[in-house]
Structure 1
Amino acid sequence: MAFEELLSQVGGLGRFQILHLVFILPSLMVLIPHILLENFAAAIPGHRCWVHILDNNTGSDNETGILSEDALLRISIPLDSNQRPEKCRRFVHPQWQLLHLNGTIHSTSEADTEPCVDGWVYDQSYFPSTIVTKWDLVCDYQSLKSVVQFLLLTGMLVGGIIGGHFSDRFGRRLILRWCFLQLAITDTCAAFAPTFPVYCVLRFLAGFSSMIIISNNSLLITEWIRPNSKALVVILSSGALSIGQIILGGLAYVFRDWQTLHVVVSVPFFVFFLLSRWLVESARWLIITKKLDEGLKALRKVAHTNGIKNAEETLNIEVVRSTMQEELDAAQTKTTVCDLFRNPSMRKRICILVFLRFANTIPFYGTMVNLQHVGSNIFLLQVLYGAVALIVRCLALLTLNHMGRRISQILFMFLVGLSILANTFVPKELQILRVALACLGIGCSSATFSSVAVHFIELIPTVLRARASGIDLMASRIGAALAPLLMTLTVFYTTLPWIIYGTFPIIGGLVVFLLPETKNLPLPDTIKDVENQWSLALSPRLECHGAISAHCNFCLLDSNYSPISASKVAGITGTHHHVRLIFVFLYRQGFTMLIRLVLNS
């Protein structure tokens, strides 16, 4: 936590941090289309069986010049229960007698039918080509589309775990650069995949890279930001993801061909890879991993960029070592993933944070699947979803700064749960109200993601932050995979999945009370900082606006009062400061009286 003192000397929010954001935010905007690409690249268009008499272009059949296309379709394709042409079967032989019938019959039970042995004909009004039309992923093979999405999510799951370990070991910047290049290559090659299995493998590798890019971008910028600006930076990053969803809707509308869309969203990452050589590694991570020379070099570079003069004179190895001595001593002990669960304070925090991520991911994906059934214009729905999420995420910034981390999460998680539960009782005829509630649920769920992300960074120490992020993202991917499976519970009770979607975030909102408030507190660097963080937030030895004065009567209640560094108690001033001092004073007086009673007895 002493790193905040070094950061204050080089600038916690200056030109350097702005330049970092200018690079990171566009990369996040272009990244989100990769994750949601199958919404358009794997869209299932209208289709029917290919039939010789209708789709043969040789013109050898005399009937094609006499009968209309609708008539030929009627004698070649049976009708389903809704009196529409079947998508997966055709007549073995043309049923000419159907031309003389005024009504319709259930011809599938009266005439021999067969599967689409010669392939399918696709409606190209929306999409000229998708992976579904390229590899015929319809009818008996329609489940293969879900295989692609499953492998993408699995890649994100594996990437979050492995990438977190590598980032803590080799640095945020190096792993981030590698993933930029890997994502650019894999998704560009996916556009030209010769077979479906090759496409699946490439999408798995793309998912592996995308999750690491999200987590390392967040870590790299937040570890260079002063405490009272972290919420702003996280909200900007999550807002960039929402803008990316809007961009995807526009790109998919312009580039309807799936191969062109793949290339368009992949090429920018070659540019990001080249530009990432100017990124600066986290000095916080460098110092904690005992790379003092490199950490000092990074600090001086930031100070120079921020226009801090005489940085080389005030910053040297001795200053860095003396300032971070406690953290360096703690870093002598090698940390592993097991340390997240060995220490009671860390175990409590990581378990609660993982559950919060899981509890919010399930309704998020459950609501998103429901939104896709609102209308047929998926381009507009994608833009609508991104716009609502962006607006509510901006609102999250205000609540985080004014209401704190815990209250913000509780508020948004309760709104998510209540909007979903309310939607279960709204009749299907009231489509506008249902859409509004669904959008409210998605928007508040997005705001919850942002709030949890801010709280997560402030609760986990630097030495374990990337690994903990991998575990946290693993819970998110498990929730994403589980959300669609819950819809199978409709066979028992129609609204049961939605009741589960709505209950999880409400339970998560109650669990948030078990976490400490971290608003404006410095980031913890070691596990010892985590143990001291909660006591620091409640410590009675606090400064009142930087110094003791006669204007603060509560500061004078304790004759042993001794103020500590203001950088360690930033934000714990004013009314909240006084209230805490009152409770601490009453607690001390009561405890003293209890001891006296025991001794006197």
Structure 2
Amino acid sequence: MAFAELLERAGGVGLFQALQVFTLLLPSMLVPSQLLMENFSAAIPGHRCWVHMLDNSSEAPANLTSKALLTVSIPPGPNQEPHQCRRFRQPQWQLLDPNATATNWSEAATEPCMDGWVYDRSTFTSTIVAEVSPPAPLPNPRLSCLASQGCPSGACLQHRFGRKPSLSWCCLQVALANTGTTFASNFLIYCGLRFLSAFGVAGIIMTPVTLMVEWTTTRRRAVAITMLGCSYSLGQMVLGALAFTLRDWRTLQLAVSMPFFASLCFCNRWLPESARWLIIVGKPDQALQELRKVARINGHKQATKSLTVEVLLTSMEEEVAAAQARRSLLDLFLVPKLRWRSCSMFLVSFSQMVSYYGLVMDLQNLGSDIFLLQVLFGAVDLLGRATTTFLFSFLGHRMTLASFQTMAGLSILANVLVPQGRWGGFLLPC
């Protein structure tokens, strides 16, 4: 709590904290676009096998319609739509008979797609599946690309090099890696660049939270973190609107990557380093400069005289000693009470991540209009985050968490009772 007292001397919460929040909202708002990008760029469009007679105009009979050619060339799939992964070896002319049934052809008369696929471009003009992925449409390429999003690299970077350099580096890494994906010539290169981007995204998630906590007084932290969380929700809604406007995956990728360069420049221009971290790593002179800068922005110019290096070192003596003590992950499990709380929170976090990202990363199987679904997910998420701070005041932390967990569990269980046909057919992988 020693640094909190120093922060109160520098003006507590004022203009600086407001500017800091708005500065960090931009990179935070861009995070959902990187986590959920593959909902749109890797969406699996409707597809069928390429057939010479059907897709080569020079071989198509002039007296037959496209629907008739499709009937004799592509067998019906499980949902009675044209099969996505098989075609007839030879045209089945008998199927043009009005009295023809499914028994008029057998599985032996079909073969896998030997010459590629024809994709439906009515929703997306291009996707990774149609342009970058291997020849066969992948069942769910977006999940394979995002498997590394939980990397703890952000915590290591900010602890070793500082909060501001960590945020700047992560923004640069995400901007370069995601811009590079627009020029990816194959699926492996695309996944490699997205893997590199994942490390940067992890840092952007964690570093703004740390900066806000360390530059905000205790009684205002809940509001600051809530605002940061609401920016994630707004980012989801913006992503849905952008994807609806930009139907080409490369254009969409550039649109959500370029703002990271702007965020990098804006953060480097004026965002101060954490004074608490500077004191802990043995840089009290630089920490004093940052505190005085904050005091001037907050209008407490008299604090520049009362804040000295000796005051900083004296106030932070115990905190520095505690921070420099060697700790390990095992310390969370050595104390019985701390072990119980750690295990409980691990379980809560695991259940939240699995259920939330399991739904929001697979929008294509939830309904036909994934753009509207993305916006609705963001709107519901915004409502939940915005009301959390108020619920803390009335119900407390544990009751609020338990209520939300119960509501989420009951909603997922109730969803099992909804018939699949209610939401339309599911795309079947080859």
Normalised TM-score (structure 1): 0.66
Q: Which runs of 5+ in 1 are unaligned?
A: 433-601
From the superposition, tell whether residues 404 and 227 of structure 1 become closer, same or farther in structure 2 (CA, over 3 Å): farther
Per-residue deviation at 1:250?
0.3
Aligned to 1:315: 307
Which range is displaced more, 346-355 or 225-234? 346-355
Does the Cα contact within 8 Å between 1:78 and 1:107 map onto a contact in 2? no
Query: What is the 5 A alignment of 1:98-247?
Result: 98-109=95-106, 112-135=109-132, 141-143=137-139, 145-146=140-141, 148-154=142-148, 156-158=149-151, 160=152, 162-247=153-238
From the superposition, tell whether residues 106 and 285 of structure 1 become closer, same or farther in structure 2 (CA, over 3 Å): farther
Does the Cα contact within 8 Å between 2:132 and 2:185 map onto a contact in 1? no
Q: Distance in 1 between matches of 2:381 and 2:168?
A: 28
Aligned to 2:22: 22
Paired residue secondary structure (1:153): coil
Aligned to 1:281: 273
Residues paired across the two proteins, number: 422
User: Are 1:293 and 2:290 an aligned pair?
Assistant: no
Q: Which of 415, 420, 426 in structure 1 is aligned with 2:407? A: 415
Q: Distance in 2 between matches of 1:229 and 1:269?
A: 28
Q: Distance in 2 between matches of 1:327 and 1:165?
A: 20
Does the Cα contact within 8 Å between 2:49 and 2:116 map onto a contact in 1? yes
Does the Cα contact within 8 Å between 1:152 and 1:206 map onto a contact in 2? no
Q: Distance in 1 between matches of 2:334 and 2:404?
A: 31
Aligned to 1:86: 83
Give the residue type in structure 2 aligned to 1:95: Q
Per-residue deviation at 1:430?
11
User: Are 1:383 and 2:379 an aligned pair?
Assistant: no
Does the Cα contact within 8 Å between 1:120 and 1:136 map onto a contact in 2? no
Does the Cα contact within 8 Å between 1:242 and 1:387 map onto a contact in 2? yes
Per-residue deviation at 1:394?
1.1
Aligned to 2:45: 45
Deviations 1:444-490 (A, max 9, x none): xxxxxxxxxxxxxxxxxxxxxxxxxxxxxxxxxxxxxxxxxxxxxxx
Higher relative contact order (Cα pairs below 8 Å, separated by 6+ residues): 2
Q: Which runs of 5+ in 2 are unaligned?
A: 424-430
Aligned to 2:9: 9
From the superposition, tell whether residues 223 and 346 of structure 1 become closer, same or farther in structure 2 (CA, over 3 Å): farther
Aligned to 2:64: 67
Does the Cα contact within 8 Å between 2:171 and 2:260 map onto a contact in 1? yes
Deviations 1:257-290 (A, max 9, x none): 0000000000000111111112111112222222
Which range is displaced more, 220-229 or 339-348? 339-348
Give the residue type in structure 1 aligned to 2:24: I
Q: Distance in 2 between matches of 1:276 and 1:429?
A: 47
Q: Distance in 1 between matches of 2:111 and 2:216?
A: 65
Deviations 1:86-131 (A, max 9, x none): 1111112222232234333245517622111111111110011000
From the superposition, tell whether residues 246 and 138 of structure 1 become closer, same or farther in structure 2 (CA, over 3 Å): farther
Aligned to 1:55: 55
From the superposition, tell whether residues 389 and 252 of structure 1 become closer, same or farther in structure 2 (CA, over 3 Å): same
User: Are 1:428 and 2:419 an aligned pair?
Assistant: yes
Give the residue type in structure 1 aligned to 2:304: E
Q: Distance in 1 between matches of 2:389 and 2:209?
A: 16
Paired residue secondary structure (2:48): strand
Q: Distance in 2 between matches of 1:370 and 1:420?
A: 15
From the superposition, tell whether residues 177 and 122 of structure 1 become closer, same or farther in structure 2 (CA, over 3 Å): same
Q: Distance in 2 between matches of 1:333 and 1:369?
A: 40
Per-residue deviation at 1:326?
1.8
Deviations 1:179-228 (A, max 9, x none): 00000000010011011100000111111111110110111112111111
Q: Distance in 1 between matches of 2:422 and 2:210?
A: 41
From the superposition, tell whether residues 8 and 232 of structure 1 become closer, same or farther in structure 2 (CA, over 3 Å): same
From the superposition, tell whether residues 423 and 167 of structure 1 become closer, same or farther in structure 2 (CA, over 3 Å): same
Does the Cα contact within 8 Å between 1:54 and 1:64 map onto a contact in 2? no
Per-residue deviation at 1:306?
0.8
Does the Cα contact within 8 Å between 1:186 and 1:203 map onto a contact in 2? yes
Structure number, greater radius of gyration? 1
Does the Cα contact within 8 Å between 1:300 and 1:311 map onto a contact in 2? yes
Does the Cα contact within 8 Å between 2:39 and 2:364 map onto a contact in 1? no
Give the residue type in structure 2 aligned to 1:391: L
Q: Distance in 1 between matches of 2:282 and 2:107?
A: 80
Give the residue type in structure 1 aligned to 2:181: A
Per-residue deviation at 1:341?
4.3
Query: What is the 5 A alignment of 1:26-37?
Result: 26-37=26-37
From the superposition, tell whether residues 413 and 297 of structure 1 become closer, same or farther in structure 2 (CA, over 3 Å): same
Paired residue secondary structure (2:99): coil
From the superposition, tell whether residues 46 and 182 of structure 1 become closer, same or farther in structure 2 (CA, over 3 Å): same
Give the residue type in structure 2 aligned to 1:93: Q
Aligned to 2:397: 405
Per-residue deviation at 1:83?
3.1
From the superposition, tell whether residues 427 and 330 of structure 1 become closer, same or farther in structure 2 (CA, over 3 Å): closer
